[in-house]
Structure formats: C-alpha cells, structure tokens
Structure 1
Amino acid sequence: MRGKIRANMYIFDQTFPEYNAKKFILDFFKDPNVLNTLKMFTKAGEWQLLGQPAHDVRIEQLNTNILSLEFFDRLFNNKIIREQGHIKKCIEEYKDEFIISDELRKVLIMDEFDSYDIFSDNDRKEFIFHLFKHFCLGGQVCQYEDDVQPYLDVTKSVYKEVISVQKDAESQTIQVVSPVFKIEALNENGKKFYPSRTAYEQDFAYIIIDPIKRHVIILSNFYEGPSFFE
C-alpha cells in the first residue's frame, strides 16, 4: 500500500446535514477545488487529478463506536493470534484476489471459516474494522507480518488521526463525532471512476467529516490487482 494510500483534507463553510449526507458528498465531488486537487492513481502508474465531476455517488455509512483496541481481543481469545502476538498459520489457499496463508485473513474475508462469526455483521461495519482489514490484506506486492502488533499499531494511528472525538457533557464519556462513509463516485454512465474503475476489495475511499471543525478527510487507496494473476 506504500505510495498508493493517500489522505486529503478540505475545509467547508456550511453546516453538515447528516440527514442529507449523500447530497453533501455529491456536492463535494462537484466542487472545483476538489476536482483540481484530489488525485487518483492510474493503471499507468501515475497520479492524475480527478478532473471530472461526479454525476452520482454510492455511500455506505460506517459505525464509529469503538474507542479501544480491546475490540480485537477476540482474536487472542479465539486462538487466531497466539499469546505472544504471533499470527496462526494455515495451509495456503486462495480467496478472490488474495492468497490466504494464516487464520487472521481467514477471519477477515472467508465467511465459510469456522471462526468468521467472532466478528458480527455490526462489528464488520465499524470503521476501525475496515482499516484493520485493509492493512492486514495489504497491497499488490505484500510481505505479510508474522506478528499482529504492526497491524494493530497502524490501525490505531490512522484511526486516531482521522476521526474527531469530544466529551459528552452529560455522561462525561468520550464519543466520536465524525460520521464516516465508504464512497464511490460515478460518471454520467453510472460507472464507478473513483477511487478507481476496478472492483477490488483494496480499492477504497472513505470520507470522514468533522461537523464541528468543518473539515473533510478523504482516505483512499488504489490496488492494481493481485500480482499472481499477471
């Protein structure tokens, strides 16, 4: 993912209407400042400006309820990760565009795996789960870690960097105030063109909106496809 993952920040000057998030995001992808600064990675291996405005967007709002890496303790409790943090290996097999050689990746993407359901459907809608999954699956040429800690560390670092929190005045608990959406921008023919024209799991774009500070972060990655298919 090195060199292919990007984060861009933009400022907006209006109130964010969460009830009409799709219009806000569509307007974002029509804004001249965005079109002239937001980039996507081409198959030719170059970054180019978005250029064209979106005619429509697909959005999926994710959950942001998690504030601790204890969310991932179930990986240890179910022996997917050994006590010292080592990832349990398995016989190599293929799932879509991925080579699966350990039980961590089985839990993440193989719904037929016995331990898949240690994360519920709602758990899998958490933004932090999406980040962890992306970092574990990696890029086109990926040397997988034998230990889970690097994946947890980078997940925590990015999550803390892009979301905003505040203390609730009544409960005095910390809450995430940034809505997060997984997004795809569509052209006039209804075809996806951003974050890319392909449908790989690791082609992704998320928009994280801070309604208080009024800034938007776009976190995106371009995946060129599995190297073993070339």
Structure 2
Amino acid sequence: MAGDKCDFEQTFYFSPLPSIKLSFLQDRYTLQLLMKWSMLGRISAQSYSFDQSFHPYNSEKFAQSFFRDPHVVSSLRKMEAGAWLHLDKPVVSVDVEPVPCTKVSMELFDPIYSCGILRPSGHVVKCLHDVYPDYDELRQMLQEEDSEHYCVFGREERGELLFRLFKHLCVGGELCQYEETIDPYISTTKQLYKDLVSVQKDPETKKISVVSTVLKVCAYDESGRCYPGRGEEEQTFAYLIVDPFKRHVTLFYHSYGVGTFTL
C-alpha cells in the first residue's frame, strides 16, 4: 500500500470553473446539429484551474492527480444507461495517450474537396455498403482502411485533434441523421477546435502556434475501466486539453448512445 500511495501522490490540485461556458454548448444552431447527430445531451466540456506549472513530461501524473482530486471527483459526471452519474469508486490508474495538436487552420481538410468524396456543390457522394444502406464516401474514408479514399489522409494527419474532432462529428451518435453536405461538419469542427484549443502569436514572426497539450484519457477503478465508459467504443471518448499558461484544463467528453431530441 505504501508503494501505491507513492505512485499516486497528488502533485496537482484542481478547482472547477463553472463560469467558463464554451460557445458550442451555447449556440442554438450548433446545438441543433448536435441533436441531429444524436450527440446532444451526451457531450460535455468541464473546465478547471490547477495550481502549478504543467509540462508535457508530467502528463501521466497530471491525469492521475486530476481523476483523484476531490473537487474533480465531486463535479465529474459520466453517462450510463442514459443518465449522468458521478464516479462511484476511486480511480486507481489512468491511461494517457498524447494527442498531436498543431493545426492553426482548416487547410488540413482541403483534400476532401478534390478527391472525389464531394460533388462540386459540396454534397457528399453516396455509396453502396453491405451493412449500412444509407452510407457515403465521407464516412467510408473516415472509418474503413480499404476505402479508395482512405489514403487521402495519412496516419499523422488522422492523429491530429482537429481531424479527430471532425471524425467524431461525422460519425455521430447511435441515431445520427447524417448531413447531405460537408459544410455543417466543417463549421462545427472549427467552432469546437477554437473553443477547446489555445493559441499564441509570436511577437517577432507573427506566426500563430498552438500552446495546448491534449491527452486522451481512460480511467480505471478497482473493477476495471470506469471512464469515459465501461466498454471500449470509439465514439465514447474523453480528452484533457491543457492550457499551461492560464493553468486551465478542459475535459471534453462524449458517450455514444441515443442523444436528446429537444433543446
């Protein structure tokens, strides 16, 4: 037990920031899209301040401290069986995956407009599928490695937070009503990214760069995986997005399932 205590000695302390309201959860048009994509009511963003300097090499200790902090535990919620619940057991370990976050424009998605996924009008090209009758080239490119368009984006580009957000929105929730055109996906991805990620401008070069560190996290209690969900599901995810200068962290979360149908 002494060894466990040493392993999980808390080095960061956190305080909720309920006054921070991200625009994508306030904008009526965005909320309507999230409802259409079966994500409304299952997606959240909770912000916290922390008490000391953060460095990427400390990411695991940071995440462990986060999920064991009493202020986080008392405010943290997860979705189970259609209801928001608090963690019912202490977290004993956390898996941390660093997520690249370097993009400062939407140019990453330029290849979509010229590779055959879209018509000149911006409409997504439909395609036949053995399992899904209402399928299209966009979702096939995002999800299936044998798609003829899969190689339009390499592994490095697909790993970027910006691409991950785009994919999460395009795939949606359990009863997602998919868009006919690309624009709603692109505009909502841009809004989320601007909400979640912090940038700074170099005073000499005027170059803008991302200062946030992004961590995909998965927490375990004594019974096994407990957050973001008990089972593995690509659309059930949690990212810690750290602004080291403001000493703020945002927990961006979604649980796959049937979203709410009213605003």
TM (norm. structure 1) is 0.91
Partner of 2:253: 220
Partner of 1:80: 117
AA of the residue aligned to 1:213:
K
Larger Rg over CA atoms: 2
Partner of 2:15: none
Partner of 2:139: 105
Partner of 2:72: 34
Higher helix share: 2
Give the % identical residues: 42
Partner of 2:158: 124
Partner of 1:5: 43
1:107 shift after superposition: 0.8
TM (norm. structure 2) is 0.80
* Counterpart secondary structure, 1:81: coil
Partner of 1:228: none
1:200 shift after superposition: 1.2
Partner of 1:203: 236
| Alignment pair present for 1:52 and 2:85 | no
Partner of 1:159: 193
AA of the residue aligned to 2:205:
S
Counterparts of 1:30 and 1:168, CA distance in 2: 36
User: Does the Cα contact within 8 Å between 1:207 and 1:217 map onto a contact in 2?
Assistant: yes
CA RMSD of aligned residues (A): 1.5
AA of the residue aligned to 1:166:
Q
1:100/1:21 CA distance change after superposition, 3 Å: farther
Gaps of 5+ in 1: 226-230
User: Does the Cα contact within 8 Å between 1:204 and 1:221 map onto a contact in 2?
Assistant: yes
